[in-house]
Structure 1
Amino acid sequence: MTETVVIAGAGHAAGQVVASLRQKKFAGRIVLIGEEPWLPYQRPPLSKKFLAGELSAERLYFKPESFYDDPDIEVRLGTRITEIDRDNCSVTSVDGEVFTYNKLVLALGGRPRTLPLPGAELAGIHYLRGIDDVLKIQSEIQEGRRLVIVGAGYIGLEVAAVAAQLGLEVTVVEMEDRVMSRVVSPQLSEFYQQEHVAHGVTLKLSTGTNGFSGTGKLEYVLLDNGEKLPADLVVIGVGIVPNIELADAAGLATENGIVVDDHCRTSDPNIFAVGDCTFHPNDVLGKSLRLESVHNALEQAKTAASNICGENSCYAQVPWFWSDQYDLKLQIVGLSQGYDEVVMRGDPLTRSFACLYLRDGQLIAVDAVNSP
């Protein structure tokens, strides 16, 4: 009997699962089910080159359309799985269609964390997670328009960099007292703050957002200091929420994500989970965690595919992230949380340097700017 692998979700990690199964000569049937109308694609360029109009949607594809022209690969887009029947090894789509599986892979990703503030429903307020989100933002980008970005993390600052270069008036509002405060040192935050200001971006740090106002569409962002900030459009980037509801309803273990072991297997041995939706052990770091990282998503997808094919593969990777802002490439290896010393290598004035993070004299992470 032909073995069937069903993949719920059709993002970056899902595309890697399909590719890895094929690479490992998986002889069964693969069913890929995704809510978006797009084939699996790369998300990192969304807030960079794709937003800037330098890439087409097709160039984001993880694999070309022809890759899926295989009688053993079934692609269902524009739909989603709403129920898992673990007893009968089947899933049901929102359309009522039932798919049976031998192995199920949950590549459910996450969704933008929303701000339930007054006026949040006004036209002109955006979140950025997928291609369609960017297309909506692009339709409102015009030189001279006023863009307010809520949140000074990777996404917010990448959008700020693109928008500033396209001639918009950009303001970034951040509750913390520095940009990228969750992931980098004060020294690196200061460097990036200076870069953004030099490109004409206004930073409002230690400032909260109380709501939005306008007649029929966005006109102002209301700040917690009483200021009414004029705005033509807003992009909110305050993190993501893992999509765990499907797993929860099926009785799978969850904890800030879908709990998996180092084989990317859930509490059900026939169900795997990969990517941003997982809470997973990391022997390199000595703890379990959830990561919002393409590198993590791809490596977990490879691990899951290997184990589906009968191998004994364990996930153990050092976290790796990157961010492109202006002509600066920031690469982060490891996790710096809990550091007690920062050692600088190189000079920030040269725009090529690195921050080394130590804890008890041991190197735990490196942030490198324009530095291999």
Structure 2
Amino acid sequence: MGGDRIFVVVGAGLAGAKAVETLRAEGFDGRLVLLGEEDRRPYERPSLSKEFLRGAAASWVHPAGFYADNDIELRVGERVAALDRENREVVLVTGERIPFDRLLLATGATARPLAVPGANRPNVHYLRTMADAEALRSAMDGAERIAVIGGGWIGTEVAASVRRLGRSVSLVERRNSPLQTVLGVRMGEVFRDLHAENGVDMHMGVTVTEIVDDGVRTDHGLVEADLVVVGAGVRPRVELARAAGLSIEDGIVVNEYLETSSPGIYAAGDVATVRHPLLGRKVRVEHWANALGQGPMAARNMLGHHEVHAEVPFFFSDQYDLGMEFRGVARPSDELVVRGDVAAREFIAFWLSGGRVMAAMNVNVWDAGELLDTLIAQRAEVSGDLLRSASLPSLVRSLAL
């Protein structure tokens, strides 16, 4: 299948790596090129803020010999300068042109820079790539006081890793609790208390104004630190797509088959904005499971399948003794319903809109994952009282009738 056709994948992260794996598994025998800017083969990012930062080995997507064994041209350290849609070519910064019959953009996202004076100091680190994690891991060896700016997932996971290494860490966040924009005030307070109980010096509700020699200056005073980690979120890498004239809305806009506004060009992973049939709106999901699912789906659709993207978004995090899984997409205006013991950090939180479950988070509860996926996918109306008290298996069965 494929013959003399050429498929090119730009972006050698999880989505791109799983896409080329799927293309070969599905029988594509044409030329297959995987282009990556980093100087190493595809790896998985979740461990960078957790185990890898604490000294564990890297988590590679495939063994070193996988690409050669499957006749995949993995070209690392290659940067794409432009997409020539008219001639169906990818243009590298070296001037080399690679023709394509089908193209997948899996360019991912990049760390959002902090726009304050002193943000470019050598002791300021970001965490997006393995090289970032290696540099941060090395810098931590000589640091006594570490400040983490940003209370999102990266910031809270880095803070937890630093504390597990026995280091002093301060968490600086402009809202009153970490993760407030994702989980809302009440669930954000769960993570605020978790970090405080584990010895993190919490600076909530403050604005960073400058990074100076001895730390982070805020509108509430100085947070002393000799090493600063910025976790201010990410932004999708849409520059190639925008310059090529593809439709952009936050990320690269794709249809339900992950195809962009230009036929034969697809996008997947952190960079793709897709209208989700379960959520009823366009979303761009930046998590590992999204890349894991969309890469193979895009690959099969490049081969002529018509698979619709309808997976429930999924994310997980482990911080200290708290393990959680989050499904769906919540909004601040959604109704929050909680079952279980929040104080003991063993509960399930639900986010409802119009009586329908839009998202759910299970915290230290490990037998509910598939049921929660089904509950979100059913889009049936359900009361908060039932979510708090009813048996989940019985509830899911009754809603399916």
CA contact (8 A) 1:144 1:167 kept: no
State the one-letter code of the partner of 2:159.
A
CA distance in 2, matches of 1:196, 1:228: 20
**How far does residue 222 in structure 1 lie from its aligned partner after superposition?**
1.0
Separation in 2, partners of 1:149, 1:34? 29
Partner residue, 1:64: 63
- What CA distance in whole angstroms lies between the structure 2 residues aligned with 1:56 and 1:142? 17
Q: For 2:337 and 2:184, how far apart are their aligned partners in 1?
A: 11
Q: Tell me what 1:235 maps to.
A: 229
Residue pair 1:143, 1:167 contacting (<8 A) in 2 also = no
Match of 2:219 among 224, 236, 240: 224
- 1:141 corresponding residue in structure 2: 140
Alignment of 1:96-107 (within 5 A): 96-107=95-106
1:261 deviates by 0.6
Give the letter for the 1:346 counterpart.
G
3-state SS, counterpart of residue 30 of structure 1: strand
Letter aligned with residue 14 of structure 1: G
Q: In 2, Cα distance between the equivalents of 1:157 and 1:143?
A: 21
1:185 aligns to what?
184
Aligned partners of 2:181 and 2:332 also within 8 Å = no
Q: Which residue of 2 aligns with 1:285?
A: 279
User: Which residue pairs with 2:48 in the alignment?
Assistant: 46
Identity %: 39
1:91-170 → structure 2 map (5 Å cutoff)? 91-142=90-141, 145-170=144-169
**TM-score for both structures, normalised by structure 1:** 0.94
Corresponding residue number in structure 2 for 1:8: 10
Instruction: Report which stretch shifted further, 136-145 or 98-107.
Output: 136-145
The CA distance in 2 between the partners of 1:131 and 1:119, in whole Å, is 24
Confirm or deny: 8 A CA contact 1:8 1:80 kept in the other structure: no
Counterpart contact for 2:143–2:227, Cα < 8 Å? no
2:372 aligns with none
Q: Are the equivalent residues in 2 in contact too, given 1:20–1:305 (CA < 8 A)? A: yes
**Which residue is 1:73 aligned to?**
72
Worse overlay, 18-27 or 8-17: 18-27
The structure in which a higher percent of residues are helix is: 2
- Report which stretch shifted further, 105-114 or 336-345: 336-345
Q: CA deviation at 1:158?
A: 0.4
Residues 161, 245 of structure 1: alpha-carbon distance in 2 compared, 3 angstrom cutoff: same
User: What are structure 2's unaligned runs of at least 5 residues?
Assistant: 367-401
**Aligned pairs for 1:178-217 within 5 A:** 178-214=177-213
- Structure 1 stretches of 4+ with a deviation exceeding 6 A read none
Q: Distance in 1 between matches of 2:356 and 2:120?
A: 48
Could you tell me how far apart the structure 1 residues matched to 2:281 and 2:353 are?
16
Deviations 1:151-177 (A, max 9, x none): 001100000001011111110110111
SS of the residue 1:302 aligns to: helix
2:379 equivalent in structure 1: none
CA contact (8 A) 1:274 1:304 kept: yes
Note the C-alpha offset of 1:185: 3.4
- TM-superposed CA distance for 1:143, in Å, is 7.9
Q: Aligned residue for 2:246?
A: 252
Residue 42 of structure 1 aligns to a residue whose secondary structure is coil
**Contact 1:41/1:61 (<8 A) preserved:** yes
Is residue 271 of structure 2 the alignment partner of residue 271 of structure 1? Answer: no
- Structure 1 residues 141, 117: CA separation in 2 closer, same or farther (over 3 Å shift)? same
User: In structure 2, how many angstroms separate the alpha carbons of the residues matched to 1:261 and 1:71?
Assistant: 30
